[in-house]
Every structure is written in structure tokens, then in C-alpha cells.
Amino acid sequence: MSLTEYNEPTLFAKHGSAERRFLELISALPKVSVQGYDKERNVIYWNKSSEDIYGYSAREALGRKLEDLIIPDVMKADVIKFHKRWIEFGEAIPSAELVLAKKGGEPVHVFSSHVMLKEGTDSPEMYCVDIDLSEQHAVRQELERMASTDLLTDLPNRRLLKQFLANAINEASTKHVGFALFFIDLDMFKEINDTLGHTWGDELLRAVAERLSDCISKEGMLTRFGGDEFVYVATNVKGEDDCEHIAKHLSRCFEQSFQLSTENIYITSSIGISLYPKHGREIDDLLKNADVAMYQAKAEGRNRYHFFTHALSQQLRQHRSIAANLRASLENNEFELLYQPQFDVKTGKVASCEALLRWRPQNEALAVPPNIFIPIAERSDLIVQIGNWVLKSACQQAKTWKQKGIEVRIDVNVSGKELEKAAYFERLATCRHQYHLVPKDIGLELTENILIKSDNTILENLRVQRDLGVEISLDDFGTGYSSLSYLKHFPVSHLKIDRSFLKGAPEKAFDSALMEAIVNVGHKLDLSIVVEGVETEKQSDYCKSLNVEFVQGYLYSKPLSADAMEALLKKQ
């Protein structure tokens, strides 16, 4: 049959009735492409849909060999081999999803089934029935892209990062090269996000992603890990010097402000670095260790980078074990409150006392002081349960003393994490009610950093408490990020000057100038001043000369047990 003679009815007429029905059926399906090949794999049939998928017209295709048309080079030998086996040994070629080639060489995804007609005769014919999967493939690719892309920044996400890391580990272990992971966390993003609103917060994240993308090497991978965390994997890294160079480069991305709407926003980042294989051989270890290093960078003051070290990981383990022990102690009620009096300078009498928490685990060797365990508890929700215990115990004590006719305000230290929970103020009210207390019986001590970070709801709630008559002290004043000008916005009644200032004063001019400035501004704003950490007579005299209202410190009294505190109160 010459090519010009080709027409379908003639072709069908040569087959038996079952085969004819098959050919009639498939040629009637518009989306199914069918190609027929003779014993030498020359095209003998090429329907309209095959023209559409593969780009060859029937005229172009007929008479040419299968492998010269639509089979990619890498598959040619196999296709010829399988076809021969079918003809010689009757081994059918199974159906499969294949990537074949179009006329111009472009790949095309098809599901291909194969049928042998006139099997066992001298002129067997193989028919390939292909379904075009391009659309499905495109949809699948888009789904994959969506599953592996962060929709806000368009960066690869955590899932793709893990794949990339798996490949990087493979490559690094065969080629003996290293790579490094940079865990980049924006500093104070939450505060900026709260101030700007979420739309602009998102905009800032997009801008950061864009700037970081511009400054990294194309062989590496930058991903959004979640929230305000980005992870950059740099390949071909030789050692810590290379990493330092990259970390500095990344930090420089934040030197210029980000222009959002009408505002110029400055933001910095803290970066934790882990190196393969020095700091871990598994994906999760490398990520965890870079994260640990990032936390250390934050703890050391933010806007810096830190390498992972094994000492850090040991510290982390220690913190975990402390947290676990604290949890157990909460269940077993292994805490105690001590009370440290705060004295009225004018009368020399106890004006109030501060509740200070002590941890008394059954195994005393496990105990650590509050300045160690409180920050650990603050990193989890443990602090909320601990704070709850402190509040209840202080209320219980206040009630007991009241029943004995002893009136003294107890101030409790409140952590920022507690205030963030909406229920804090409800709990406070419930506790007062349950123990028959009034607002002035329980005072609150908060640090400036808590107040700076607080959103309007917290500040409003504190204002309500203040209006009810709750005394609120600004603790460790002078060590945080606020300035004196913030003071008038905070609903507080007392300023507690951090003891570090007293240490230097009155000898050190700078410290005493600061003390005096704080006292003056505090008084102008109608706040009472408390000086904490008074240890010597000289410091005590100095406080008196400054006209502060209250003093607290080892010179007057260490933190006391409830009984000792009661005895002291009864004496005066």
C-alpha cells in the first residue's frame, strides 16, 4: 500500500471482524491517539488524535519507523528490544505512563497501551493506544508546586527544603564537600506585625524574602520555614570562615530599611548556623541545631549570628530536663513562696512584700534558683501554670494573714507569657473573689519589656486593674528597652529601679546621674520609687538622700518564709 493510497476503510477491511470492531471503536474516540506499526515498526496507521499529540501529520508519519518519530533517544534500544520480544516470543508490552517526544523534541506525557493484532501471522501489527496526559501532568505539576511553595513569599517551603537537604546530604557524602544551614529569624517581628497590622506584616515578609533571594547564591536554596523564619542552605561550604562570610552577607540585607506604604521599617535578624557533617548528619539534627544556635544569637542580644556548638546542645538537654522536672514538681506541689519586705523609707516600717518563688523538689540536688528556672519555664506554657500556682498561693497567704489581723500587700511577679493569655485578668479577679480579697491586697510586678510588647488589650486590662486600685510596679526598671518617655503610657504606680544602678551609685557619676533622673521623672509622673538590692548602709543613706519612697534589700531583710515574715509583721 503506497502512502497516497492510505485510507481507513481499506485498512479496516483487511482485518477480521473482532479486530475491525476494535479499530472502529478506537478511531471513534477523539481524544485517544492510535498508531499502528508493522513487523518492522513502520507506521501503518496514524489517526487524527496522533497528529494532535505528536505533531506529525499522518502523511508525514506513515512509513516511518516508530523509534524515529516519537521515542526519545534514551528509550530507543528498549523499545526495539521489547517490540521484537513480543513478535518473537509473544511477550506483550505492558501498559505504562510514558514520556514520549513530539515532533520538535518536546516531551509529552501519555498513558500508552499496546495491542497486537494478527498475532502469530507473518504480518503482525502492533497498535499503540495513547491517552494524552499533558493536562493531568500540568495539574499535577501545579499541585506539586503549590505543595512545595510558600504561597505568601513564593519561596520553596519546608517540604522542598527537606528534599533539597536530602539531596545535599547525598551529594556531600559522595563528593566529600560540606554545606551549611542558616536559620534566619526576624527580630521583634511579632511587635512590628502587631503595630503595622497583618497585611503590612505580610508585605514585610515578602520584601524580606525578595531581598534575601537577591543576595544568595543560586546553587543554594532559600526557603520560608514558617512565620518569620527563613532557612538558607548554602552548598559547597568549606568551613566556618565561609559561613561567617555568608552570615555577614545575609545580615547586610537588613541594613537598608524596607519601604512599606509610607513607612520605612528597619528590622534585623538573628541567624543560627549548623554545618554538615560537623554539626549533624541527619536533616532533623541539622535543622534543630541551627535553630538552637539561632536562639543563642537571640539570647546574646539579637541582630547577630551564632554557630551551633555541642555545649549549646548540652545546655538544651539540661533545659529540657529542668522543664520536665518542673512539670513533675507542679503535680507534686513542690514549690514555696518566700516573702521579701519592702520598707517605707519615712517610717522604716514594712509597707508591702514581694512574693519570690522557690523550687523545692524532693530530690534537692535537682533544684535550681528562679533566675535559671523561670526563663526556662517562660519558653513553654509551664510559666502559666507556675504563675497560676504563685497567684493562688499568694492569695491564700494574704487571706490567712488577713484572718489573723495582719494587713500587708503581697506583690507577685508576673511573666509576659501569662498576660498574653486572655484568661489572666479573669483568673486574677476570680482569685481575689475566692479568697475574699480586695484589689489593693495583691500587687503586680511587671518588667518594661512586657509592657512594651503588650498589645492594647493587655494595656487596657492593666488600666482597669490600676483603676480598681491594684498597685502595679515596673520591675527591673532601666534594664529594658523602654525609655523614660514611655512611662506616661504605662498604667503603673511604682518604679522599681534595677539593683545594677545602685551598685555603681553614688561613686559612679553615670549611675548616680541615672538614678537621680529616674527618680525625678518618676516623681513628676506621680509614681512611687522603690530601690531594690540595697545591701549596705551607704546605699541606704544614698536612697534616703534621693527621697525615694521604698527600699528593699538584704540590708533590711532577705526573702523570708511565711512564718518569719509573719513574725516580722507582728513585731512592728
Positions touching ligand C2E (CB under 6 A) are 340, 355-357, 369-371, 374, 387, 390, 413, 415, 445, 475-476, 533-535, 553-554, 559
What is the smallest separation between the CB atom of 564 and ligand C2E, expressed in angstroms?
A: 14
Q: What does 150 bind: ligand C2E, Ca ion, none (CB cut-off 5 to 8 Å by kind)?
A: none
**DSSP symbol at 47:** -
Cα distance between residue 301 and residue 156, in whole Å: 29
Q: What does 371 bind: Ca ion, ligand C2E, none (CB cut-off 5 to 8 Å by kind)?
A: ligand C2E
How many residues interact with Ca ion (rule CB under 5 A)? 4
Q: Please report which helix (H) or strand (E) contains residue 105, including its range.
A: none
Q: Are 326 and 361 in contact (CB under 8 A)?
A: no
* One of 125, 445, 549, 566 touching Ca ion (CB under 5 A): 445
Exposure on the CB side of residue 311, measured as CA atoms within 13 A: 3
Cα distance between residue 186 and residue 362, in whole Å: 41
Continuous H helices in 95-197: 134-148, 158-175, 189-196
* One of 47, 235, 329, 413 touching Ca ion (CB under 5 A): 413
What is the smallest separation between the CB atom of 488 and Ca ion, expressed in angstroms?
A: 21
What is the smallest separation between the CB atom of 204 and Ca ion, expressed in angstroms?
A: 34
Which of residues 269 and 473 has its CB atom nearest to Ca ion in the complex?
A: 473
HEC assignment per residue over 182-248:
EEEEECCHHHHHHHHCHHHHHHHHHHHHHHHHHHCCCCCEEEEEECCEEEEEEEEECCHHHHHHHHH
Q: Which stretch binds Ca ion (CB under 5 A): 345-353, 393-401, 443-451, 460-468?
A: 443-451
For the sheet with 125-132, list strands across it: 43-46, 32-37, 125-132, 107-117, 96-101
Which of residues 344 and 535 has its CB atom nearest to ligand C2E in the complex?
A: 535
Q: What does 357 bind: Ca ion, ligand C2E, none (CB cut-off 5 to 8 Å by kind)?
A: ligand C2E
Which of residues 397 and 413 has its CB atom nearest to ligand C2E in the complex?
A: 413
What is the smallest separation between the CB atom of 319 and ligand C2E, expressed in angstroms?
A: 16
Cα-to-chain-centroid distance, residue 179 = 22
What is the smallest separation between the CB atom of 553 and ligand C2E, expressed in angstroms?
A: 3
* One of 334, 476, 549, 566 touching Ca ion (CB under 5 A): 476
Q: Are 245 and 166 in contact (CB under 8 A)?
A: no
What is the smallest separation between the CB atom of 376 and ligand C2E, expressed in angstroms?
A: 11
Which of residues 237 and 338 has its CB atom nearest to Ca ion in the complex?
A: 338
Which of residues 291 and 411 has its CB atom nearest to ligand C2E in the complex?
A: 411
Burial status of residue 72 (CB atoms within 10 A of its CB: 0-12, 13-18, 19 or more): middle
Count of CB atoms within 10 A of residue 260's CB?
A: 17
Exposure on the CB side of residue 79, measured as CA atoms within 13 A: 23
- Name residue 551's beta-bridge partners: 343, 531
Q: Which stretch binds Ca ion (CB under 5 A): 117-125, 439-447, 460-468, 508-516?
A: 439-447
Query: Using the rule CB under 5 A, is 418 a contact of Ca ion?
Result: no
Which of residues 30 and 369 has its CB atom nearest to ligand C2E in the complex?
A: 369
What is the smallest separation between the CB atom of 558 and ligand C2E, expressed in angstroms?
A: 7
What is the smallest separation between the CB atom of 540 and ligand C2E, expressed in angstroms?
A: 11
Query: Using the rule CB under 5 A, is 549 a contact of Ca ion?
Result: no
What is the smallest separation between the CB atom of 209 and ligand C2E, expressed in angstroms?
A: 36
Which of residues 34 and 357 has its CB atom nearest to ligand C2E in the complex?
A: 357
Which of residues 269 and 413 has its CB atom nearest to ligand C2E in the complex?
A: 413
What is the smallest separation between the CB atom of 559 and ligand C2E, expressed in angstroms?
A: 5
What is the smallest separation between the CB atom of 499 and ligand C2E, expressed in angstroms?
A: 6
Which of residues 67 and 532 has its CB atom nearest to Ca ion in the complex?
A: 532
Bond preceding residue 9 cis, omega within 30 of 0:
no
Cα distance between residue 447 and residue 450, in whole Å: 5
Q: Cell triple for residue 172? A: 556531600
What is the smallest separation between the CB atom of 266 and Ca ion, expressed in angstroms?
A: 30
Q: Which stretch binds Ca ion (CB under 5 A): 163-171, 236-244, 417-425, 467-475?
A: 467-475
Nearest residue by C-beta to ligand C2E?
553
Cα distance between residue 468 and residue 456, in whole Å: 18
Exposure on the CB side of residue 123, measured as CA atoms within 13 A: 6
Q: Are 352 and 407 in contact (CB under 8 A)?
A: no
Which of residues 180 and 398 has its CB atom nearest to Ca ion in the complex?
A: 398
Q: What does 554 bind: ligand C2E, Ca ion, none (CB cut-off 5 to 8 Å by kind)?
A: ligand C2E
Q: What does 280 bind: ligand C2E, Ca ion, none (CB cut-off 5 to 8 Å by kind)?
A: none
Query: Using the rule CB under 5 A, is 475 a contact of Ca ion?
Result: yes
Continuous H helices in 341-482: 370-378, 382-403, 416-420, 424-434, 448-453, 456-468
Which of residues 265 and 376 has its CB atom nearest to ligand C2E in the complex?
A: 376
Cα distance between residue 453 and residue 474, in whole Å: 14
Residue located via cell numbers 497486537: 116
Burial status of residue 40 (CB atoms within 10 A of its CB: 0-12, 13-18, 19 or more): exposed
Which of residues 312 and 531 has its CB atom nearest to Ca ion in the complex?
A: 531
Burial status of residue 180 (CB atoms within 10 A of its CB: 0-12, 13-18, 19 or more): buried
Q: What does 240 bind: Ca ion, ligand C2E, none (CB cut-off 5 to 8 Å by kind)?
A: none
What is the smallest separation between the CB atom of 451 and ligand C2E, expressed in angstroms?
A: 14
Cα-to-chain-centroid distance, residue 86 = 57
Residues that bind Ca ion (CB under 5 A): 413, 445, 475-476
